[in-house]
Structure 1
C-alpha cells in the first residue's frame, strides 16, 4: 500500500431522506474511510478502494447527489503524518471498544463459574460470543491500514478470552464427567 497517496471522495447528497446519508456514511466508515470534514473522506490508494469508492460515487449520483473522486498527495511529510494519525486514532478507538467487549466476555464467563453454572447450553452461548469477538477483531484488522498502537493489545485480549473459554469448557466437561 502506498502510504503517501490517498483517494479523496467529496460528496453531497440531498438532506432527505436521512437514512440515505446515514447509509453512505456507514458504508464509507465500513471501508475504513477517515472524514476530513462533512462529506469529504479519504482512503489509502489501492485498487480495491478505488473500485469501492467508484461504487459509492455511483450510489451518491443515484441518490440525486454529487460526488467527486480524486487522488491526493501530501504537500509535505507533516501532512502525511496527520492523515495516518487520523487513521490510527480511528482504529485505536475500534480496538478500545473491542477490548471493552473482551472484558464483558470475561466477566460473563466468571459469573457462570462463580455460580457453578456448567452447562453445555452456556458453553455454546459463550462459544458463539467468542466467535463474534474473533470476527470483529478480523474486521478491525482489515481496516488497520497503518498499524494502530492498540492492535497488539487487542490481539492479546482475544487470546485471553480464548483461554478463559477453554478453562470454562474444561470445567463443563469435568462437571459432566467427560474428561475422565
Structure 2
C-alpha cells in the first residue's frame, strides 16, 4: 500500500495589519487544509497544492512573515489515520452545515405551499436558493479529499431538494391563469 504524504506549512504572520493575517488564513482554509495547531497546517501532497502553497509562502514573506513548506508522512498507519480523521471531521462539519441549509430550503418550500404562494417570483427565488446549495456542495466535495462520512447524505439531500423544487414548480405552473386548461 502506498504511503500517503502531505505538505506541511508552518508560518508566522505579524498580527498587524490583521487584514493580511486573515487573508492568509482564508486562503489556507479555502484550500481545505487542516490546522494541527496555530500556524501549522497540512494539505494532501499534490502539484496543485504545492504550487498554491508556494505562492502563499511568497505572500506571507511579503507581509514580513515567515513560512516553511515540508513534505511529511505519518510515522505509522495510526498516525496516518489520525490525519485523515481530521480532514474528514472538517468536511463533515461543513456537510452538517449544508444539511441544515437543506432543511431551511425544505421548510421554505413547505411554507410557500402552506401559504399557497404559487408565483413565478417565489419560484425564481427558490430556484436561486437551490443553485446556491448546488454550488456550496460542489465546493465542499472538491475539498473532501478522504470521503467524509456525510458526503452521501449531503448529495442525497440535495437531490431531494431538487425534486421538491420540481414539484413546487409544477404547482406554480398549474396555478397560473394562462396555464389553466392547457395540457
Distance 1:99 1:175 in 2: 30
Which blocks of at least 5 consecutive residues in structure 2 are unaligned? none
Q: Over residues 70-121 of structure 1, what are the superposed CA-to-partner deviations in whole Å (9 max), with x where a residue is unaligned?
A: 1001111111000000000000000000000000001011111100001101
Q: 1:17 Cα deviation (Å)? A: 1.3
Give the 4+ runs in structure 1 shifted more than 2 A: 177-180
| 1:59-98 alignment runs, 5 A limit | 59-98=59-98
**Cα root mean square deviation, aligned:** 1.1
1:57 aligns with 2:69: no
Q: Determine the C-alpha separation between the residues in 2 that align with 1:162 and 1:170.
A: 13
Q: Which residue of 2 aligns with 1:162?
A: 162
Q: Distance in 2 between matches of 1:134 and 1:19?
A: 30
Q: What is the alpha-carbon distance in structure 1 between the residues aligned to residue 3 and residue 138 of structure 2?
A: 21
> Would you say the 8 A contact 2:3–2:73 is kept in 1?
no
SS, match of residue 32 in structure 2: coil
2-structure distance, mates of 1:109, 1:24: 39
Aligned pairs, how many?
179
Counterpart residue number, 1:24: 24
Structure 2 contact 133–158 (Cα < 8 Å) conserved? yes
Alpha-carbon separation, structure 2, partners of 1:164 and 1:65: 50
Where does structure 1 lack aligned partners over 5 or more consecutive residues?
Answer: none
Task: Indicate the residue corresponding to 2:34 in structure 1.
Answer: 34
Matched, 1:109 2:113: no
